[in-house]
Amino acid sequence: MTDTVKLLSLAVATPDNIILQTDAAETASRLFSDRFQDFKYLARVFESTGIRKRHLARPLSWFEEPHGWQDRMGAYAEVASELFRRTATSALQRAGIDAGEVDCIVTASSTGLATPSLEARLAGELGFRCDIERVPIFGLGCAAGISGLAVATNMAKSRPGAVVLFVAIELCSLAFRLDELTRPNIIATALFGDGAAACVLRTGDGGIAEIVSTGEHLFPDSLGIMGWKIDDTGFGIVLEQSLPTFAEAHLRGAVAGILERAGLLISDIDRFICHPGGAKVLAALEAALSLKEGSLDIEREVIGDYGNMSSPTVLFVLERAIAAGLPRLSALLALGPGFSASCITLKRVS
């Protein structure tokens, strides 16, 4: 149908600095083993995640020195701007659309702050119009790749024919803390990486897939499962050990409710395309959704190559799923702070 929102293109990018998981483990041991008595026990996470390498905003040596807000946000503005430039330019080129044709930009990021926002900083350089609508989103964490895409979808749906650019950028590594001698911080050094993704949306014919429905579920009394704490040094990760258990116990009902509101059942979905939060989270997703063990294979490939990049990670999975051939009906799924679940259904364009 010409009045439905179509995904026209998708592009991804990562910083140039690459860190092997073996090097991350060695560096973390050198920095923490003498100061944190449980480090040897927690160090097993460097192997159990299934991560082989990650991309970081700064070289590994940068993280061996203490940094405050100014250093961290300076690095964020520089590297996030470059990733925005690369992903937006590539996505627009793939869609065959000039930057001057973009009517709205939705930018999701929860790992840094920039005012003016990233799209304003790059508007002149990239050629966006002066009357462009800008929607910067902060605070949705890992779920923002889907929740932000849902916002972009609603913007496109309410403005038939308008071109909407969605960009998700996260520099998780900039939250690395030498001073945080905690289990969540150690796990973060083994799990998170940096990256960005951009999508172009518009109503009309063609495209890669039709966005059929969007939805979210906010779990009550779950604020402490995932998020940031903020102090004078920067962001500090909040990550409960119970997250996979919680997801396995409660996710199915939440997803069923989201789909039901769109007139769909879990059994209608041919392929779930999930945010790979970690090896245990992927196992919990498979169990909760009654998927065959190991069926989230692309998700495991992506986390192995990039780690958990927060919001753009699910779009890296989508890129590979598109290359492999989308089935008739897919569902993008991610969990994020709140604690929340976000879901978008996609119908393949023949």
Tokens representing 292? 């065959």
- Decide if 199 is catalytic: no
| 239 contact partners, CB below 8 Å, separation of at least 6 | 184, 187, 188, 225, 226
The answer to whether the CB of 271 falls within 8 A of the CB of 321 is: yes
Q: Which of 142, 172, 274, 343 is catalytic?
A: 142
Q: Distance (Å, rounded) from C-alpha 294 to C-alpha 274?
A: 13
Residue 50 burial (10 A CB sphere; 0-12, 13-18, 19+) = middle
Q: Distance (Å, rounded) from C-alpha 65 to C-alpha 177?
A: 10
Write the secondary structure of the chain as one string of H (helix), E (strand) and C (coil): CCCCEEEEEEEEECCCEEEEHHHHHHHHHHHHCCCCCCHHHHCCHHHHCCCCEEEECCCHHHHHCCCCHHHHHHHHHHHHHHHHHHHHHHHHHHHCCCHHHEEEEEEECCCCCCCCCHHHHHHHHHCCCCCCEEEEECCCHHHHHHHHHHHHHHHHHHCCCCEEEEEEEEEHHHHCCCCCCCHHHHHHHHHECEEEEEEEEEECCCCCEEEEEEEEEECCCCHHHEEEEECCCCEEEEECCCHHHHHHHHHHHHHHHHHHCCCCCHHHCCEEEECCCCHHHHHHHHHHCCCCCCCCHHHHHHHHHHCECCCCHHHHHHHHHHHHCCCCEEEEEEEECCCEEEEEEEEECC
Active site residues: 142
